Amino acid sequence: MSSIFALPPILFVPLREMFGISYTLLGTLVLTNFCTQLAIDLIFTFFSKYFNVKKILRVMPLITSVGMLIYALIPTLFPNVAYLGLILGTVIFSVSAGLSEVLLSPAIAAIPSDNPQRDMSMLHSLYAFGVFFVVVVATLGLKLLGNANWMYITVFFALLPIIAAVLFMTSPIPEMNEGESTGKTSGGRSRIFGLFLCAGCIFFGSCSENAMTNWISSFMEKSLGVDKAVGDILGMALFAILLGVARISYAKYGRNICRVLLAGMISAAVCYITIGICSNVIISFIACILVGFVTSMLWPGTLIMMEEKLPGVGVAAFALMAASGDMGASIAPQLLGIVTDVVSESTVAYDLSVRVGLTPEQIGLKAGMLVTTIFPIIGTGFVLAAIAYFKKQKANN
């Protein structure tokens, strides 16, 4: 999963240079990624009981390999319609990502444990460290081989999921509750509203995290003027490390997930405002990295809150959460890309660039980051509503 999410943003600049793809179309690749995952999430939300979950878990890494190989073979298979190849490869490996998001969390939740919150947080921390591995290997690979040879790096990451498939096929998988949840259980309406609040929290949390995840590489290179290799390793990789460290820290020491979610939303808003208005490169650089730390628990933390406040939910509820998260992860990066293109091509950006000493493209990227602030701000409202609602439910019970 780490390669699916972390590798394409690293390749944005090489793809833009080689094929002349606009920021909006690059953002559309992210949108395609998460919309495909969203479709998988919705299918499992309503029809999870019709699938053999264990068999799907065992074959989904192979789907990743197929998608990544198509991505790598674009110069050979789609030399004149490269963007079509990018879309095709993205759709295929995004199917696997969607299945992973829907099924891995309930699989972990189904394993008997004395501390299920720790297990869930550890699961998501491993993704973060996977991102670090992808960033370092891909960045050094581009530095050594050159941007024109990005496809060989993609082939390398296409082979790794085969190992995951072998591990799944030789490992026991726990039984999971595959039925549909919410209205068929006691307190149906109450649980549905509780799930709605959780879905809102994970949507805006995903927006806050993934806007930066998908654009930090391009932003540091084009807006902050940082060398790509330095920006990816010290920027994107440190972002992933802080993401993982925060999740492991919560797994070991964490308490009161609702307060953690509230603090994360507020801090994310502060970081994005800082990035959007601050002209100091170092401060902006640090704020970009800190987004990884403050948003680290917004997705897994919402799942922990759901399990804690709404016990007994099944695969369908986890699929609904994944759908909400994927929707946020598709909308936010796409919006950032659109705002960047629109602002950077406007006369306002041109006039402002003369006065502040920035290029229109740099102003556009900063404007995109500033607009992203709306997501953690609204997310703060959802977390506050969830805290009040679950507190009221506990008092009534």
CA dist 161 → 40, 140, 250, 267, 301 (Å)? 19, 21, 28, 35, 27
Rounded Cα gap, residues 110 and 19, in angstroms? 46
Q: Which of 68, 25, 247, 293 is nearest to 160 (CA)?
A: 68
More confident residue, 139 or 157: 157
What pLDDT, on a 0 to 100 scale, did the predictor assign at position 185?
45
> What is the C-alpha separation between 334 and 386, in angstroms, rounded?
27
Amino acid at 188: G
| Domain annotation covers residue 62 | yes
Task: Report, as an integer, the average pLDDT of 311-335.
Answer: 83
**pLDDT of residue 179 exceeding 70:** no
Report the length, in residues, of the chain.
Answer: 397
CA distance 209 to 199: 15
On whether residue 193 sits in a domain, the answer given is no
Name the pTM for this structure. 0.76
Whether residue 155 is contained in a domain is answered as: yes
In this predicted model, what pLDDT tens digit does every residue of 338-388 receive, in sequence order? Answer: 999 899 989 888 888 888 888 898 899 999 999 999 999 999 999 999 999
- Neighbour tally for 258: CB within 10 Å: 19
Give residue for tokens 């973060």. 128
CA atoms within a 13 Å half-sphere pointing along the CA-CB vector of 155? 8
CA distance 179 to 72: 38
Is residue 361 included in any domain, yes or no?
A: yes
pLDDT tens track for 84-102 = 889 999 999 999 988 888 8
Give yes or no for residue 272 having a pLDDT over 50.
yes
Instruction: Output the domain CATH number for residue 286.
Output: 1.20.1250.20
Instruction: Dig out the tokens for 228 from the structure.
Output: 């790509």
- Please write the tens of the pLDDT for every residue from 16-72: 888 888 877 887 887 788 788 888 878 877 777 778 888 888 999 999 999 999 988
The one-letter amino acid code at 184 reads K
Position 284 in a domain: yes
Environment class of 100 (CB within 10 Å of its CB; exposed 0-12, middle 13-18, buried 19+): buried
pLDDT(183) > 50 = no
Contacts of residue 145, defined as CB under 8 A and 6 or more positions apart, other chains included, come to 152, 153
**Helix residue spans in 111-187 (DSSP H):** 116-145, 150-169
Residue-number span of the structural domain to which 248 is assigned: 2-176+201-396
Q: Cα Rg for the chain, rounded, in angstroms? A: 21
Closest C-alpha among 174, 198, 56 to residue 108: 174
Look at the chain and report how many structural domains it folds into: 1
Residue 196 lies in a domain: no
Mean model confidence pLDDT for the chain: 86
Please report whether residue 63 resides in a domain: yes
